[in-house]
Copies of this chain bind each other. A is one copy, B any other.
Amino acid sequence: MTTAAYLSQCILFKGLKEHEIELLLNQIHYQEKSFKRESLIAQSGDETTAQLILLSGSVRGEMMDFNGKAIKIEDIKAVRMLAPAFLFGKQNHYPVSIIANEESRVLHIPKNDFLKLLGSNELILRNYLDNISSRAQFLSEKIKFLFFQDIKGKLAHYYMTKLRESSSQTIRMESSQEQLAVLFGVSRPALARSIKELREDKIIETHGKEIRILNVQALKALVRE
């Protein structure tokens, strides 16, 4: 698969044909890099001198707390830009560390070339604008999630979201409690305790990785908003 073929799946190039992307790429410099599973793609605090685009694989963005414990901000699957809102503005540093979840390929476009790209096509510019706005929106939601919800609120929010994607009243957990705790920024035993309490209150029922929602109303009431 060509670079342009990958990029045609990135929202930055939404509305553009593969051959148009090809033409645009010919006018700028860029590199492709491969990263092995668990390797560090960018370190929190590093200067952002280029726009990165994840072409294949998946990565995660993590913030570190004082004790070195990570909390996961998000999982990112190809094809997507990495840290789009951190190339411009005042603080050109990665806000999170970016780590490959699996073998991944990343396109690396130096800032000046990326600027040229934005200037060369109005559609791309508009897509970019949309994208960094969405980033700010995502971060603003993240504040609400991390800071305003207690553990049960986080669980309820998480389950409700999963439930919307499901056709039945059951959810299949694809991540472990440990991983979920990292996403919630809480300790694993505390998460398990909250799950237990939901079980005791007959709000959910767990069978291994399957979770059945028994009382959607009560669950919804736990979300603090």
Listed in ascending order, the chain A residues whose CB lies under 8 Å from chain B are 63, 65-66, 71, 85-91, 95-96, 119, 122, 125, 128-137, 139-144, 146-148, 153, 185, 224-225
Partner of A133, one of B88, B96, B125: B88
Q: Which residues of the partner chain B approach A185 to less than 8 Å between Cβ atoms?
A: 147
Q: Which residues of the partner chain B approach A144 to less than 8 Å between Cβ atoms?
A: 63
Contact A91-B143, Cβ < 8 Å, known A63-B148, A225-B66: no
Name the CB-closest residue of B to A135.
B136
Partner of A143, one of B133, B134, B146: B146
Do A143 and B63 have beta carbons less than 8 Å apart? yes
Q: What is the interface of chain A mostly: helix, strand, loop, or mixed? A: helix
Q: How far is the CB of A65 from chain B (nearest CB, A)?
A: 5
Contact A147-B148, Cβ < 8 Å, known A91-B137, A139-B139: no
Do B131 and A89 have beta carbons less than 8 Å apart? yes
Q: Which residues of the partner chain B approach A91 to less than 8 Å between Cβ atoms?
A: 134, 137, 141
Expressed in whole angstroms, the Cα–Cα distance for A86 and B129 within the complex equals 11
Q: How far is the CB of A129 from chain B (nearest CB, A)?
A: 5
Expressed in whole angstroms, the Cα–Cα distance for A18 and B90 within the complex equals 25
Do A85 and B147 have beta carbons less than 8 Å apart? no
Name the CB-closest residue of B to A122.
B119
Q: Which residues of the partner chain B approach A63 to less than 8 Å between Cβ atoms?
A: 143-144, 148
Expressed in whole angstroms, the Cα–Cα distance for A69 and B67 within the complex equals 30
Name the CB-closest residue of B to A67.
B224
Expressed in whole angstroms, the Cα–Cα distance for A142 and B71 within the complex equals 15
22 contacts between A and B (CB under 8 A): A63-B143, A65-B148, A66-B148, A85-B132, A86-B137, A87-B133, A88-B129, A89-B136, A89-B137, A91-B134, A91-B137, A95-B137, A119-B122, A125-B125, A128-B129, A129-B129, A129-B132, A132-B136, A136-B139, A139-B140, A146-B146, A147-B185
Q: How far is the CB of A135 from chain B (nearest CB, A)?
A: 5
Do B132 and A133 have beta carbons less than 8 Å apart? yes
Expressed in whole angstroms, the Cα–Cα distance for A86 and B132 within the complex equals 10
